[in-house]
Structure 1
């Protein structure tokens, strides 16, 4: 099937306007996830509050994650366009306030507001494109969105550094305004306004329970093993809070007439396996990638900027495979094989990367292996979203997509926590408690190159620790590939709206 023959629910010209707006708002939200990282030293120099610095990132992550299910459900009830307006306005207001912040506490609060908007932009973009095109088109255009995320992961820190050095760190927030306003206009022109005719009761209690429970769980995954020990009172208290609120949330969803997260979705094998596989993919990817720049610093003496740029082959592979994979689905109508093989290839490539790192292979070889890691992830991840969207009823499209986003975020947070725990375990085993603690509290993190300030035993310990995260990530992605094999092998047909698909004959 030619791309031009993909069924659309709006005229082609309106689709082009809508898709341009979707790409623009997604780019802004994706860039804002990590554009701030290179500006953090200058922010501390201007505002102080070093002890609260991590909250500049954590506040954005928390609010963007917990708000996703709310946007998904409310957009199912009241339409995508009004929720887009809310999300864009919150994002732009938060950006302006961040740029005007006069102390660290203000910046943290305003980053939270900005995250509330970004969570809607990311989720609603994936939902809206599923409204606009049929099953085959979803695979194609979700691939473009994955490419945007991959590009933003590289461009965000670089753009943040350029704006901070040439203008001010405040411009990493102000720059959203001249792009956000045109994006809002494009969304208003391109996204049709639809809503349910009935007015069901909103699940306010579920929203509160899920927000508190998810926030507590994310804080456990963010703080355990870093700020606090895993068995410390703060971590155990947060874990107990998460457990209680999430259990009560499930009870609430079972009895509510219009639940925030309908539990009947999990009765469907496509949704259940799809979100679980997506979560495993995020766990494996973050576990393997989190300390990859650290490995390049201690192994090859690269500075922080160069170490980040050395991930470009990985992200290039993701971008290429996400776009070509979508076109392959359009041509064949098949997704399952691409997802299974994509995760399998990335698992094998990560295993090769771990063995190669253990053997101290040259940088050029490792960069080549990273391309295959990216190709596998790019082939699988956008198509897992498409599988989920095509496996639910149209009335559940928003809540299913946002639930997938929530589990994906939780998977990423768990992957970060797993990587941190593995690295700490290896450092303690290699260097002892005193040696590992000295590394964590020392001043090497701000150096141009860690390899120039660490001792030989410390470098060897770091290398061994990161190799373990590579192999653990490979194992998790391999498990995801096996789990993905349990998806029904449906052939996607050219329909403009989501319907359950029959097995291919």
Structure 2
């Protein structure tokens, strides 16, 4: 399972980055938002229908079919790529091209990033409880080695390779660096909301797992996913209840892409997105035991709109502030920082939840003895709450503590969004009317930039 998921993740990660890189290499800067919007819509469709099918298989047939069902779609995509993606390629000896790759830097980066992210995940492994405490050597050693490795990687890239893996000069640009920081916060906040809001609906509102396969992930402009196991199924139930929020993400990303293409300005979208995200995560703090259905529906709309706007706005900011020759690389790095933030989102949210939940339970005499056990796993606690008799006084107290701990998580996300808003103020405006400069293009056809130039 682990080997298969590793291979799957490697391929999927490459597809995410290459999709944006291809658009970057074929479409003029000002028009890219439209195409990124279309990509967002496709991801939205797949993200809604895929988990529905997967959840149905997991419940009624076998969870293995969640993986088997992907094979026909992979085959279709494999056949369509050579048929439709007929591009001009750089000429030259393939062996010589391989020699130019920074293999040592790639190894250091992948090994260090993996070493850093794995303990971040298992230090707060919400699907299975805490595998190892944050103070355990199994968490600290790889975390420290990964951090040291990433620092060493930076120095290696500065002084050793002729063609470094990461073009560090991009970070000398204030706008680029500020947007990358915002990208990490964006991934962190969005993924934290998508993970912990279903817990609110399950544990606090008590919705049942009748439609547990409806939504593993929400319709986002990228394939965010949870490792689906049978013990995850109760979690999936209430993500359908996030649709008031999640159905705003992709449409807003598409709308902003078209708006920026028409106006030629993008900073307004960046600032609007962060303002709405700050307000939206702040509104989510209001979710409690007594929140009505109408209330939580409307409370979910604002953060969905804010995070949706940011997908297109930050993509524009990154590419506008990067040199044209580095635009493809900048897009790939944007995908990495977004995924990095997503990894941090659940971990940081889990730490906040655990600490706050434990503190609250210790104040309740009937639950103090179970404070350590209940607070360490927010997912498992959902089933504990549902199994408790309805007339048990401790159940109401536990639900109240659960809701208040989730409020603390959302308050922290609101604070992170405010910090990201401040960073966004550092972003400068760049002209989007830049001629497309690429050696790529469709075979026998003009590049998009050339066509636009002919019309002018």
| TM-score where L is the length of structure 1 | 0.72
Paired position in structure 2 for 1:483: 423
Q: 1:284-304 CA deviation, whole Å, 9 max, x = no partner?
A: 222333211111122211124
Q: Are 2:346 and 1:416 equivalent residues in the alignment?
A: yes
Paired position in structure 1 for 2:293: 363
Q: 1:149-197 CA deviation, whole Å, 9 max, x = no partner?
A: 4454444432211233454323222222222222223222333142375
Aligned pairs for 1:82-101 (under 5 A) are none
Indicate which of 99, 102, 108 corresponds to 1:203: 102
Indicate which of 89, 96, 112 corresponds to 2:6: 112
Q: 1:37-94 CA deviation, whole Å, 9 max, x = no partner?
A: xxxxxxxxxxxxxxxxxxxxxxxxxxxxxxxxxxxxxxxxxxxxxxxxxxxxxxxxxx
Paired position in structure 2 for 1:301: 206
Once residues 379 and 450 of structure 1 are traced to their aligned partners in structure 2, the CA distance between those partners, rounded to angstroms, is: 40
Paired position in structure 2 for 1:224: 123
Higher helix share: 1
Unaligned ranges ≥5, structure 2: 125-129, 213-236, 363-367, 439-448, 450-456
Q: Are 2:28 and 1:134 equivalent residues in the alignment?
A: yes
Once residues 136 and 398 of structure 1 are traced to their aligned partners in structure 2, the CA distance between those partners, rounded to angstroms, is: 15
Paired position in structure 2 for 1:246: 150
Aligned pairs for 1:79-478 (under 5 A) are 107-191=1-85, 192-195=87-90, 199=97, 201-225=100-124, 226-255=130-159, 256-304=161-209, 305=212, 306-354=237-285, 356-358=286-288, 360-432=290-362, 434-439=369-374, 440=376, 445-446=382-383, 449=386, 455-478=395-418
Helix, strand or coil for the counterpart of 2:287?
A: helix
**Contact residue 136 and residue 492 of structure 1 kept, 8 A:** yes
Helix, strand or coil for the counterpart of 2:100?
A: coil
**Contact residue 224 and residue 235 of structure 1 kept, 8 A:** yes
Once residues 445 and 482 of structure 1 are traced to their aligned partners in structure 2, the CA distance between those partners, rounded to angstroms, is: 36
**RMSD across aligned positions (CA):** 2.5
**Contact residue 325 and residue 437 of structure 2 kept, 8 A:** no
Once residues 335 and 291 of structure 1 are traced to their aligned partners in structure 2, the CA distance between those partners, rounded to angstroms, is: 31
Once residues 390 and 116 of structure 1 are traced to their aligned partners in structure 2, the CA distance between those partners, rounded to angstroms, is: 28
| TM-score where L is the length of structure 2 | 0.80
State the shift of 1:437 in Å. 2.7
State the shift of 1:122 in Å. 0.8
Q: 1:322 to 1:497 in 2, by over 3 A?
A: farther
Once residues 448 and 458 of structure 1 are traced to their aligned partners in structure 2, the CA distance between those partners, rounded to angstroms, is: 8
Once residues 328 and 412 of structure 1 are traced to their aligned partners in structure 2, the CA distance between those partners, rounded to angstroms, is: 27
State the shift of 1:246 in Å. 1.1
Q: Are 2:436 and 1:496 equivalent residues in the alignment?
A: yes
Paired position in structure 2 for 1:43: none
Question: Which piece of structure 1 moves more, 428-437 or 129-138?
Answer: 428-437
**Contact residue 147 and residue 319 of structure 1 kept, 8 A:** yes
Unaligned ranges ≥5, structure 1: 1-106, 500-505
